Amino acid sequence: MAKRFMHVLLAGGLTVFGLAACGGEKAKEEEPTPSNEQSGDTVAAGESVAKSNCIGCHGGDLTGGMGPSLHGLALSKDEIVDILKNGKGSMPAGTAKGNEEVVADYILTLK
């Protein structure tokens, strides 16, 4: 009887410990939106162009494939527009076909 009580007590203690170890994590606060962020329509237009023209090399979610990930780029909008217009390395020029600005706006939202 005492042995069974000890097993129940031990199991209960481990359960409480396990639940305490799993809880208490604070949700990550959302980062403030930069003041120069484009409208939702502009970003949506850029997303549409990017998904039809970029996924072949950069992967379906643009996290990388043959080409590098487009998430979290340390480039300015002007640098991205220049690469889209003129190419760089194995990236061909003209892939956004006149939509460079909206594609750059969309790429800058990827984190």
Q: What is the dihedral of CA 48, 54, 56, 59, to 10 degrees?
A: -90
pLDDT confidence bin for 5, thresholds 50/70/90: confident
Residue 79: per-residue pLDDT: 96
Residue 13 has pLDDT above 80, yes or no: no
Alpha-carbon distance of 20 to 23, in angstroms, equals 5
**Residue 7 known to bind ligand:** no
pLDDT confidence bin for 32, thresholds 50/70/90: very low
Alpha-carbon distance of 87 to 21, in angstroms, equals 50
**Residue 66 known to bind ligand:** no
**Residue 1 known to bind ligand:** no
Alpha-carbon distance of 36 to 51, in angstroms, equals 23
When pLDDT is averaged across residues 8-35 and rounded to a whole number, the result is 59
pLDDT confidence bin for 16, thresholds 50/70/90: low
68 by DSSP, 3-state: which?
A: coil
pLDDT confidence bin for 35, thresholds 50/70/90: very low
Domains by residue range for the chain, with CATH? 40-107 (1.10.760.10)
